[in-house]
Amino acid sequence: MNRNLLKLIVACGAVCFIACTAPQKAETEKWSERMARSEMKRFPEPWMIEKAKVPRWGYTHGLVVKSMLEEWKHTGDSTYYEYAKIYADSLIDTDGHIKTMKYLSFNIDNVNGGKILFDLYAQSGDERYKIAMDTLRKQMAEQPRTSEGGFWHKLRYPHQMWLDGIFMASPYLVQYGSTFQEPALYDEAVKQILLIARKTYDPTTGLYYHGWDESREQKWANPETGCSPNFWSRSIGWYGAALVDVLDYLPQETTGRDSVMQILQGLAKTLVKYQDPQSGTWYQVTDQGAREGNYLESSATALFIYTLAKAVNKGYIGKDYIQPTRKAFDGMVKTFTHLEEDGSYTITNCCAVAGLGGDGKKVKKAVFLGLMNNFVLIVVISVCALLSSVQVTEVAMIGWSQGIGSWAEIVGSLFTILAMLTTYWSISLALSDIVEEQLKLSRRICWVIATLPSLLMTFAGLGGFMEFMRLAGGLIAILIALLVVPAYRKASREPGNSLLGKWGGAGMQIMIMLAYFLMAVGNVVTI
């Protein structure tokens, strides 16, 4: 994350802090305004944030622009609203599609930018914003999950939950649920908060580990707990900010709300414990103080100020937290703000990035091994057939046995059984998906509908297993031929989906349809 991100984190935190600590002396310009105007001066076009060369949809842009909207609501100055609207309109096209967002990456960071759209939609009534919000809601409905239902941080980071992800998505989901009457999202947001707390909380320190890998495959994952090794302050800051933002829209009667409140209160108590006594700010690695290489870090400090100030303002924690929050804010200004020659302000000592991620080499290795397995099997079958001294019969293993030994018959028979089972499995899954899509029944019922009739007909002697496989394969090929192109054309219109790119033109689509029709004919017609 670029340092410029912090300018508006501070702004948002300052607004909440100032609001909760009245009375106060009059100022010509509050720190929130100074930082907001500095950011707009630095980046005349909001898509330029983080020194971007072209417009892009990103969580940092969303964070800064959301802060601008908060400043608009706080001051009534429409300049901030217009700045936010410029960003949205540069990234959302006339059909409501979010430009540059790769939907199929299932990156939870994408959702954070959607938080700006609620105010824009309420103010303008522009349906483009609603379509974009629905797209992000759809992403979270389809987001890959852990076995207990926790959102993966990204598709390319399988089995991983990060504290960051709670901030990115949970406040969005509860606000969407509140705005568009989808109360089930309250439970979803609470579920994510409580689940990651259960997985990452350390009772010894009262802190939360940055990430958790359910598979325990990542090199950073503790083999017993799956947690990352350190307490990264900014990730804990993300989590704290998520808690206070979620509570904005979480009805009192929501199951688990009290648990969220308890987590927030416990976190507040812990944060004060690790606050640097001299500066009032916090270290990059929360619990390691002045250890060599560690340093006082501005982004975490800003997020902690935001969490504590808003929690005090909302009555979630007691007024005894005002003093440490004030100390943190004063320390933030004194330690990290820098006045430039042009009159703007910048923030120093901001961590650029401290992500966890996945092992790309492992992914490439898995793909390679998968392809190699298929290649080896094809080679084995071909060699066996060529080495056979007799004509390969309808059941090829007989010929192999006669030609190269009985072991070939055993191996070949096992291979044939596995091939039949996997074929039956894949065809049944395909049929089940089609039934589910059309009838909107439960997945288990669709599985029974897809598998049971063919098995009963086989056991009743009405036809052979292979005949049913051949006919089912032909029918599915016909269905795919009729559906694959319309499905492809629909998917290609999803935001950020390039799919086959230049190879996905009309010629390729026609070839795909012909191939499936030929496959269908080959399954039905005996040559």
Most confident of 13-22, 235-244, 500-509: 235-244
Percent of the chain with pLDDT over 90: 60
Number of structural domains the chain divides into = 1
Say how many CA atoms lie within 13 Å of 394 toward its Cβ. Answer: 1
Asked if pLDDT for residue 100 goes beyond 60, the answer is yes
Q: Are 186 and 254 in contact (CB under 8 A)?
A: yes
Name the more confident of 383 and 167.
167
347: helix, strand or coil? strand
Please tell me whether the overall predicted TM-score, pTM, comes out greater than 0.75 for this model. no
Beta bridge pairs of residue 338: 346
Q: What is the pLDDT of residue 481?
A: 60
What Å distances lie between residue 163 and 50, 187, 210, 416, CA to CA? Answer: 22, 18, 6, 47
CA angle 282, 200, 187 (to 5 degrees): 110
Gap between the Cα atoms of 243 and 196, Å rounded: 12
Q: Is the pLDDT of residue 304 over 70?
A: yes
- The structure tokens 């399988």 sit at 158
**What is the chain's Cα-based Rg?**
29
Residue 17 predicted with pLDDT over 80: no
Is residue 392's pLDDT more than 60?
Answer: no
Is 92 strand, coil or helix? Answer: strand
The band of 393, judged by pLDDT with boundaries at 50, 70 and 90, is: very low
In a domain, 495, yes or no: no
Q: Determine which of 121-125, 287-291, 411-415 has the lowest per-residue pLDDT on average.
A: 411-415
Alpha helix stretches (DSSP H) within 355-394: 360-387
Q: Residue 363 falls within a domain, yes or no?
A: no
Higher pLDDT, 339 or 402: 339
CATH number where 205 lies: 1.50.10.10
- The reported pLDDT for the residue numbered 2 is 47
Answer whether residue 472 shows pLDDT above 70: no
Contact 452, 468 (CB under 8 A): no
If you average pLDDT over residues 280-303, what whole number do you get?
Answer: 95
Catalytic residues, by residue number, are 164
Q: Does a structural domain hold residue 259? A: yes
Which residues span the domain enclosing 180? 5-347
DSSP strands (E only) in 151-209? 160-162, 201-202, 207-208
Average pLDDT over residues 353-374: 60
410 lies in a domain?
no
Does residue 526 lie in a domain region?
no
Is 517 a member of any domain? Answer: no
**Long-range contacts for 334-342 (Cβ within 8 Å, ≥24 apart)?**
334/279, 335/279, 335/281, 335/296, 335/298, 336/6, 336/281, 336/298, 336/301, 337/10, 340/38, 342/41
Average pLDDT for residues 56-70, to the nearest whole number? 95
